[in-house]
Structure 1
Amino acid sequence: MTTANTTNPANTHGAPRVSVLIPCAPRQRYLEETLLSIQKQTFQDWEVVLVLDGECEENRRMAAVLPADRIRIVVTARPRSGAAAARNAGLPECRGDLVAFCDGDDLCEPERLARQVAEFDRRPTLGMLATWSRRFASDTGADLGPLHGPTESQALARRLLLFNPVTTSTVMVRPEAVREAGDFRDAAKNCEDYDLWLRILGRAEVAALPEELVRYRVHEGQNSRRAKLLPQSGLLRREKVAAARRLGVSVPVTRIKHLAWVGVQVANRRW
């Protein structure tokens, strides 16, 4: 079931340039703040595709903070389908030639879309572009420090072969890069984002901007996925090896680094 509008005030000639895809669980208390951060973007040729992972009148009321012709609502066929299914439900509804991911509790800085669109315009081979981000405490607003990673394409690709330095809410993609990689996968529960990044590697260029353009919310009750990755170790290893082959990187070294990464997670009791 979908509700969708066919006009966008920032683009009177058809589809908007950017679709902001936001999956949302029922009773997402921070959704209005997230949507307002999109409304304040300096780049205004956008639409929001909001995926309700289960019908929720409270979320619909918060969605009304945006003009009706700037937001399109998709409801998943099965409630609580999970992040992968929710994003996959929203992707076909995205009309933009670029898709920006954003979770329903994070905040985008006003220049986020403008900076990323400009970089895509400058680099036609780019398929996925992340940014740096900054964590903050939801209850107090206290700064919890930066989340920085490599920005240059080769360095970011090599880091992704070791672990995931990318915050999902910072990522903008060309939709065809996601389709060619096979979309998000339900089988990669709790690491569906990392799984997709690995499958994009070697199929499209990846990079990141060295700017903190997203504020990543840390709050009580937030889903911590670190403790749930052990069942996915084999899946991630296979995708790392496949990506290494596409990139022409040593497969034996990739396997050894993956084992080292597993050891670190176990030692830190993240599994």
Structure 2
Amino acid sequence: MEKYSVLMSLYQKENPEYLRSALESMINQTVQPDEIVLVEDGPLTDELYNVVGEYEDKFPELFNVLVLEKNQGLGLALNAGLKVCRNELVARMDTDDIAVSDRCEKQLRFFENDPQLTILGGQIEEFITSPDKVVGRRVVSQTDAELKEFMKKRCPFNHMTVMFRKSDVIKAGNYKDWFWNEDYYLWIRLALEGCKFANLPDTLVHTRVGADMYQRRGGNKYFKSEIGIQKLMLEKHMIGFSTFVANSVKRLIVEKLMPNKVRGWVFRKFARE
């Protein structure tokens, strides 16, 4: 099957054991990656350096560690990492999640059958303590037409599940900085380039969440980021003014006006299964 790269970004606040689990899940794919590009986004803790060094020593041909002297944030870290990926197909993965063992094989087979496809994601199951204790499942649409419609209201991909063609992402401007929405911003630019989208119906990644994760989806900075995305889609004529207003009002209520506990309930009730 076609060779592929894995792109991951790591910063100092992450958990060494979670990182180990994430790396193991990608190394042990039924179709192993050709390389894992791990971006060190600024200085790390000794514990994280130890884990990275351990895997570099065990798999010297597999790991490509890119060191950024200062923390750049996810968008710019991924921008730098993607540039050094040596393969056309690139799988994104977070450093605290666990991929299912045949995730990449399923995605590679789908790309084989659709040479026009740019990006392919899938579903996620969320957990707090153990992957077999699911607390939520984020379900996204599957076909290109459905996803282009879905993205007018919500982010169309689970970022940690996607595999994409590097050349198309570079052509669209690569990852850029946009607080909490680096991925959504990229998907919008890919859509404007006419790129083809798809999601698998399968769960591809078990996603680790904190007990207060849903509650933290709020605050002024988060709200401004979300409204900025809506303004961008309005300016690019992806949505009309009525949709812009409706999306903005919903975000104002949920992200700024709701107490944290109520916001957590709303996310669990309406944004997750």
Pair 168,256 (structure 1): closer, same or farther in 2 beyond 3 Å:
same
Aligned counterparts of 2:185 and 2:85: Cα–Cα separation in 1: 21
Alpha carbons of structure 1 residues 89 and 230: separation in structure 2 relative to 1, 3 Å: same
Residue of structure 1 equivalent to 2:65 = 73
Q: Which residue of 2 aligns with 1:60?
A: 49
CA contact (8 A) 1:132 1:209 kept: yes
The separation in 2 between residues aligned to 1:201 and 1:25, in whole angstroms, is 30
Please report the RMSD computed on the Cα atoms of aligned residues, expressed in angstroms: 2.3
| More deviation, 229-238/85-94 | 229-238
Mapped partners of 2:108, 2:24: distance in 1: 20
Q: Indicate yes or no: 2:131 matched with 1:143.
A: no
Separation in 2, partners of 1:176, 1:93: 12
For structure 1, list consecutive stretches of 5 or more residues without a partner in the other structure. Answer: 1-10, 246-250
Q: Tell me if 1:37 matches 2:30.
A: no
Deviations along 1:11-52, whole A, 9 cap, x unmatched? 9xxxx8111100011152111110000111001243110001
**1:180 CA displacement:** 1.5
Q: Work out the CA distance in 2 between the residues paired with 1:210 and 1:230.
A: 30
2: distance between equivalents of 1:151 and 1:212? Answer: 12
With over 3 angstroms needed to count, the CA separation of the structure-2 counterparts of 1:239 and 1:51, relative to structure 1, is same
Question: How many residue pairs align between the two structures?
Answer: 248
Write the deviation string for residues 45-86 of structure 1: whole angstroms up to 9, x where unpaired. Answer: 4311000111324223212235121111011142x2100111
Does residue 232 in structure 1 map to residue 232 in structure 2? Answer: no
In structure 2, distance between residues paired with 1:243 and 1:138: 42
**C-alpha deviation, 1:159, in angstroms:** 0.5
Instruction: Verify the 8 A CA contact 1:74 1:90 in the aligned structure 2.
Output: yes
1:113 and 1:231 map into 2 onto residues whose CA distance is: 35
Tell me how far 1:134 sits from its aligned partner: 0.6
Structure 2 counterpart of 1:115? 106
Q: Under a length normalisation based on structure 1, what TM-score does the superposition of the two structures give? A: 0.83
- Tell me if the contact between 2:123 and 2:200 (Cα under 8 Å) persists in the aligned partners: yes
**1:20 is matched with which residue?**
6
Match of 1:268 in 2: 254
Relative to 1, partners in 2 of residues 1:239 and 1:269: Cα closer, same or farther, differing over 3 Å? Answer: closer
Partner of 2:150: 159
Contact 1:37–1:108 at 8 Å: present in 2 too? Answer: yes
Q: TM-score, normalised by structure 2?
A: 0.83
Native 8 Å contact 1:136 1:142 kept in 2: yes
